[in-house]
Amino acid sequence: MILLVGLGNPGAKYVRNRHNIGFMAADGIVRRHSFTPPRARFQGLVSEGMLAGEKAIVLKPATYMNESGRAVGETMRFYKLTPADIVVFYDELDLEPGKLRIKTGGGTAGHNGIRSIAAHVGPGFRRVRLGIGHPGVKERVLGYVLGDFSKAEANDWVEPLIDAIADAAPLLAEGKDATFANRVHLALNPEPAPPKKTEEKTRDRNGDG
């Protein structure tokens, strides 16, 4: 079993916030893979489904970002999971918009949601950092992360990123984290098609005509 956690703040006024991109990723997976409608459990909203033949739980904590660990810890204990079974999606200021990085364990890098989860379940969970970019100066960070994505950002990279994550999510259930990250990268940055060879050049190479 795998527990996929999207981080964000509950409530309509936060829906489009940069800080809520983890919620957006969770919602994308639920839609793409026909999970059950969300219901209130474990201090959050829970949907259930299957990924790569494995049972999967998607959790959106309803505790506000700074207390996310309460919901994650309660869910983990109920299903008798280990931190390695948990994948957390969250916003990352120090990554360019649309970039994705995944790792297991590590520090909190000042992210209050990750700090809370580490306090409740330990540091050994899997983290999917979703780049939102940095406003440039520390004083602008709070307003930036709690600000909404623009329509241009949503169209240019937010929605394509969420779609790519949803498509590749079964790889997380298989434990293929590096392949997941690579699949998302390729979806957003497709390799250019090789130039087509002209019929004449092909004939010359083959010694024809």
Any idea which residues carry the catalytic annotation? 19
Phi, psi of 127 (to 5 degrees): -120, 130
Beta carbons within 8 Å of 85's beta carbon, 6+ residues apart? 1, 2, 3, 76
Answer yes or no: are the C-beta atoms of 9 and 116 closer than 8 Å: no
The answer to whether 63 and 119 have CB atoms below 8 angstroms apart is no
Residues 6+ apart with CB under 8 A from 42: 59, 71, 74, 75, 78
Distances (CA, A) of 138 to 39, 93, 167: 37, 11, 34
Q: Quote the DSSP letter at residue 157.
A: I
The DSSP symbol for 10 reads -
